[in-house]
Amino acid sequence: MRSACSMLAALALVSCNSPTDTGTGSGTGTTDASATGVWSGTDSVTGLAVTAFIDSSGQAAFFRSDGVQFTGAVQVSGSTLAVTVDGYSDFPVTFSDQSTFGIGTLNGTVSTGTGIAATLTFTTNGGTALSGTWALNFLAQSNTASSTGAVSGNYTDNVTGAVTSINSAGVMTSQNPSNGCVLNGSISTNDTSHNIYQVAFSYGSCTGMYAVLNGVQFTGLASLNTSSSPVQLGVAVTGASSTAKYAIVSTLTGS
């Protein structure tokens, strides 16, 4: 369940890299850049690694190597990138002020298939201000074709040791022996030309401090890194109950 993000290895509008190309941006006759793909780099403010999954509909998950995750819908005009983000600590960890959620903005530039340079401004619900300056590079794995067949298999969580099984139809199941959590959900792709997957699942039977996750519907993004041996599936999801918001970043290793 709880996973420290060990994968240092996801935003889409226009270009040869995106199936949702519209040709010109903002009525100016200029082509909008594409942010679709898997991106990786460093936050010069914290020194932490940052990874991004951005799908062809513009949904994005940016996450640091400490598990802190920022999600939102990417807007690109020309080379200018803007995202209003929700930010989460990695369950069950909290921010320094004991809050687990906040809001902010990410603004910068993107070059199709090359890089993203952006500045984060963020404040937790507890009033703590966080900032970041990110330099992210486009990863070649972005252009690997995606399918439920390609991602099917058994994967072991790098931290908890729980095994997640994915069948060829994208059905996901898992049970964590340490906390009893049973996972049921699915993984799918809305753009087979890019290595970004959509994930949805819920937990049941969780015990102890993890019982708050029972019935919570998690959604997010994933990417399969086939260049690692064995392959690794990075997953970044968020969810909410009637009283709280949660996020989980996981690295799952294939077997």
Sign of the CA dihedral running 121, 134, 38, 4 = negative
Domain shared by 41 and 117, yes or no = yes
pLDDT at position 80, please? 98
Beta carbons within 8 Å of 216's beta carbon, 6+ residues apart:
202, 203, 239, 240, 241, 246
pLDDT at position 191, please? 96
Domain shared by 110 and 204, yes or no = no
3-state secondary structure of 185: strand
pLDDT along the chain (255 residues), means of 10: 39 34 46 97 97 98 98 98 98 97 98 98 97 98 97 95 96 95 97 98 97 97 95 98 96 96
3-state secondary structure of 140: helix
pLDDT at position 23, please? 34
User: For residues 106 and 77, what is the distance between their CA atoms, to the nearest angstrom?
Assistant: 14
pLDDT at position 230, please? 95
Structurally, how many domains does the chain consist of? 2
User: For residues 28 and 47, what is the distance between their CA atoms, to the nearest angstrom?
Assistant: 38
Range of the domain at 54: 37-142
**Of the residues 110, 142, 174, which one is the last residue of a structural domain?**
142
Domain shared by 76 and 165, yes or no = no
Q: Answer yes or no: is 12 within a domain.
A: no
Whole-model pTM: value is 0.88
Count CA atoms within 13 Å of residue 227 on its CB side: 11
User: For residues 85 and 228, what is the distance between their CA atoms, to the nearest angstrom?
Assistant: 30
Closest CA to 141 of 231, 220, 216, 240: 231
Residue given tokens 């040869």 in the structure block = 16
**Of the residues 142, 170, 197, which one is the last residue of a structural domain?**
142
Domain shared by 148 and 248, yes or no = yes
Q: Answer yes or no: is 49 within a domain.
A: yes
Domain shared by 128 and 171, yes or no = no
pLDDT at position 8, please? 35
Q: Is 44 left (phi over 0), alpha (psi -120 to 50) or beta?
A: alpha
Residue 28, both tokens: 């100016």
CATH number, domain containing residue 148? 2.40.128
Domain shared by 75 and 178, yes or no = no
Domain shared by 185 and 135, yes or no = no
Domain shared by 182 and 111, yes or no = no
Residue 170, both tokens: 């994208």
User: For residues 17 and 31, what is the distance between their CA atoms, to the nearest angstrom?
Assistant: 13
